[in-house]
Amino acid sequence: MELAFIIVAMVWSRFFCWLHFLGLVPRWVLYLLPLYLREDLSCSPQHLSSVFLYVLVTLALYFAGCKSRSKGSSLKPHITGNLIHDWWFGIQLNPQFMGIDLKFFFVRAGMMGWLLINLSVLAKSIQDGTLSKSMILFQLFCALYILDYFVHEEYMTSTWDIIAERLGFMLVFGDLVWIPFTFSIQGWWLLANEVELTPAAIIANCLVFLIGYMVFRGANKQKHVFKKNSKAPIWGKPPKVIGGKLLASGYWGIARHCNYLGDLLLALSFSLPCGISSPVPYFYPIYLLILLIWRERRDESRCAEKYKEIWSEYEKLVPWRILPYVY
């Protein structure tokens, strides 16, 4: 019932978010794009004011969560009594406004913002006459990744962010500031640095992206399908299920968090077009590696507490956490 409620709210917020996006694109073309082309793509007072706005938004979420009397698992307040902790990590799992799931609304805005910033960088490189194969590769990979998110957004209802992370400053700031402004660093770097890729490097980069996408999307799809129908075949065979709850087939029989491996390969593919002359373009994959290891540790602890001996059996059957034979 809770999952169905989240999906309905997700569809409703998708409708409003796309209305906003359709109104945003003309403004970007008519106003923001010329502004980017005239000025340096650097931090501005508007960026700082946006951070201040997000602080106010998350404070509103905090106080609304504290006053909530909902008993549903996605809206029930989780209050520790530590104001900073509760504001940072959030009070409620899936707070809504006018029936709109705010968690989905914010992440959509962040993904759209990432795309618009990338397109601004692309337009700037075309105007300057510096458009390169590296820039095209970076833009193509990011655009495909963002498009894929919206096409397969339903799978998000089975991910850690939706089912475990409460909506506080950490997620709101991550969605609205961190995603668009840090995930686009590679494009900004390519504007100032010329990188010539060999045909072999381009092919290798494409392979990293394709393998990452196959693992990331395949693993998330298998988990989502399993949650809806635990008897659905995995890779053409009946799924192996531990204790009637944990999937141990397909990618989930290779590593306990194989989807993280796919995500890391995708992040690496966004940075490889920049070459290896500087660590700056690799900020995103390095940050993501740290984040996912931290998240994997939290997830392992949560699952061990929730599933108890079933989880111990799964650990014995699938000993690898993310990368088989390495970690």
Q: Which of 18, 190, 31 is nearest to 111 (CA)?
A: 18
pLDDT tens column, 286-310: 999 999 999 899 889 988 988 889 9
26-50: average pLDDT? 52
Length of the chain: 327
Position with higher pLDDT, 265 vs 80:
265
Model pLDDT, residue 321? 94
Tell whether pTM > 0.75.
yes
Average the pLDDT over each of 61-70, 74-83, 106-115, 177-186 and give the range with the smallest value. 74-83
Angle at 167 between CA 163 and CA 169, to 5 degrees: 145
Residue ranges of domains in the chain: 1-195, 197-327
pLDDT tens column, 9-36: 444 445 445 444 444 444 444 444 444 4
50-78: average pLDDT? 73
